[in-house]
A and B are shown apart, each in its own frame.
Chain A
Amino acid sequence: MNKKDYIIGKIDTAAGKVPVISTVWSNSDLISTIKVRWAIGRMNYKVKQGFYAIGTPDENSDIFVSANFKLSFDHLRKALHDMNAWVLVLDTKGINVWCAAGKGTFGTKELTYRIKAHELDKIVNHKNIIVPQLGAVGVSAHEVKSKTGFRVIYGPVRASDINAFVNAGYKATPEMRKVSFPLKERMKLIPVELSYGKYYLLFIPALFFILSGINSKGYSVDLAWTTGGKAFVNLFTAYLCGSVLTPILLPWIPFKRFSLKGLSIVWVLSILLFYFNFFGNTITEIISWFLITGSISSFLAMNYTGTSTFTSLSGVQKEMKTALPMQIGFAALGLIGWIIKRFI
C-alpha cells in the first residue's frame, strides 16, 4: 500500500519547498479509518508532523493546525476541499487533538516550536493561526501570542464546520462551539469499546466454561458444555449491555451514574435470561448470576465515561468511590455463590 498517497506535489515558499496534500480520501484512507475504529494496527496510524499546503496557497492564506493522528489530519484536509490553505501538523504522538491537548502534547510548547521551526513568519504576511477549539485544553492563546507574535483563532470543534466558519468571517456559531454526543457518534465508537473489553470477553467465559464441568462427583465434560454454554450466553449479555447497549441508550437510561446505567440495563435483560432458565433453578445460582452480570455490565459502562464527552474528573471520582467497591463485591459474591452451587 502506498503509505503517503495523500502527498500530491510540492510548492515553493520563502522557507523552502512544502508538500502539497490532497483533499480527497483514497480507498486506503477509508479502509484505514475503519481499521482504526476496530483498533487494528492503531500504533501505525500517524502522519508525519510538519507543514503542508492545500491547493495553491500564498502569503495571505490561512494556516490551520492539526494533530498527527491520521484521522484528525484526514478530516481537516477533507474539510479544506476547494480552498487554498496551509496546514501545520503538530507531533502529538499519533493521538487526536482533544486527547493530545489533555496530555499536553498538543500544546503551547509544541505549537510555538513549530511556528518557529517552519518559519511561518516568512511564509505568510499575516499573524493569524487557526487552532481547533478542542486544542484549547493544551494551548494557551495569550502565551502563544507573546512567544511568537501569532494570534490564535479558535476554529470550530468539528472540521466539517470550517467552511462555514471561514465564510462567516472566522466566527463560530454557538452550535459550532459545542461538543455534542449524538447517537451516530456513540455508534461509531462502539467498536472501540468492544475491542477494549475483548480480553474480558475471552478470558472470563473460558474460566466459567472450565469451572462449569466441576460437580460433587468430579469433572463432567457434558456438564461443561451445558452449564458452560449457558454461562457464555449470560456473560456475553453482560458484556453487550456494558459496551453496546449502555452507549446507545445513554441519554435515555434514567440514571446519571454510568455504573447504574450499566447495572439497570443488564438487570432488565437478566430477568429475561432468568425467565428462559439461563440462570439455573436454585436461588443461590440465580442470585449469583444477577450479581455477576451486574458487576460486569456496571464496570464496562463505568469505563464508558472515558469515551463520553461530558463527564468530569471530580464526577467520575465521586462515582467510583461507591461503584468500584460495589462491582468488586458483586463479582466476588456472585463467583463464590456460583462455585458453591457446583458442589451442592
Chain B
Amino acid sequence: MNGLTYLKNVVTLSLDIQKCNGCKMCTIVCPHEVFIIKDKKAFIDKKDLCMECGACEKNCPQVAISVKSGVGCAAGIINGILRGTEPSCDCSSSNAKSGCC
C-alpha cells in the first residue's frame, strides 16, 4: 500500500555485491520486497521500504549485507534513552507489557 511507507533516505542497509553469490536468501526473508535478483546477483531495489529488521543480514551466508538493525518503535527508543541501553521493545521491566509488539 502506497500510504504505508516511512521516511526516505535514512535506512542503514548496504550490500556488497562482490560477496553476493545470488543464493536469493535475502529475497526470501525480507518482509518488504527490498531486494531483487538480477543476473544472479542481489540488488537493493526499494531501499526506503526497509524497516531494518536485520533478517537479511542474519541469513546472508556470504556476509554481504549489513544493516544497523533494531526496533522502529518510539516507545522503545525512549526506553533505551531512559535506561541508557540500546532501543528495546522490551518494556517489561515491571510486570506490565506495553503496546509495542
Contact = CB atoms under 8 A, between A and B. Distances in A.
Contacts of B8: 256
B53 interface: yes
A250 B3 contact: yes
A141 B59 contact: yes
B37 interface: no
Nearest to B54: A137
A201 interface: no
A335 B4 CA distance: 34
B53 A174 contact: no
B31 A303 contact: no
A23 B29 CA distance: 27
B1 to A, nearest CB: 5
A39 interface: yes
A133 B31 contact: yes
A109 to B, nearest CB: 12
B75 to A, nearest CB: 5
A133 B101 contact: no
A291 interface: no
A319 B88 CA distance: 17
Which of B6, B7, B50, B99: most chain A CB closer than 10 A? B99
B89 interface: yes
Given A316-B73, A319-B7, A178 B1 contact: no
B25 to A, nearest CB: 7
A134 B7 contact: no
Contacts of A318: 7, 10
A314 interface: yes
B28 A256 contact: no
Contact of B72 (A103, A182, A313): A313
Contacts of A136: 28-29, 55, 58-59
B17 interface: no
Given A139-B58, A251-B4, A252-B3, A310 B32 contact: yes
A133 B51 CA distance: 15
Interface string A94-110: 01101101110000000
Contacts of A192: 99
Interface size on A, as a range, is 35 or more
Contacts of A181: 1, 4
Contact of A103 (B4, B61, B90): B90
B58 A303 contact: no
Nearest to B58: A140
B74 A137 contact: no
B15 interface: no
B32 A179 contact: yes
Given A180-B1, A306-B71, A133 B28 contact: yes
Interface in A171-201: 172, 174, 177-182, 189, 192-193, 195-197
Contacts of A101: 55
Contacts of B4: 180-181, 250-251, 308, 310
B11 A312 contact: yes
B31 A134 contact: yes
28 contacts: A103-B88, A103-B90, A133-B28, A134-B55, A136-B59, A137-B55, A142-B61, A154-B29, A177-B30, A179-B31, A195-B99, A251-B1, A303-B74, A303-B100, A305-B72, A306-B71, A306-B100, A306-B101, A307-B99, A308-B4, A310-B51, A310-B72, A312-B10, A312-B51, A313-B52, A314-B68, A316-B73, A320-B77
Interface of B: 1-8, 10-12, 25, 28-33, 49-55, 58-59, 61, 68-77, 87-90, 95, 97-101
Given A311-B73, A316-B77, 5 more contacts: A136-B55, A137-B58, A140-B58, A179-B32, A320-B74
Q: Which 8 A-B pairs have the closest CB atoms?
A: A251-B3, A306-B73, A196-B99, A306-B100, A311-B72, A99-B101, A313-B70, A136-B29
Interface of A: 39, 42-43, 95-96, 98-99, 101-103, 133-134, 136-142, 154, 157, 172, 174, 177-182, 189, 192-193, 195-197, 250-253, 256-258, 302-303, 305-320
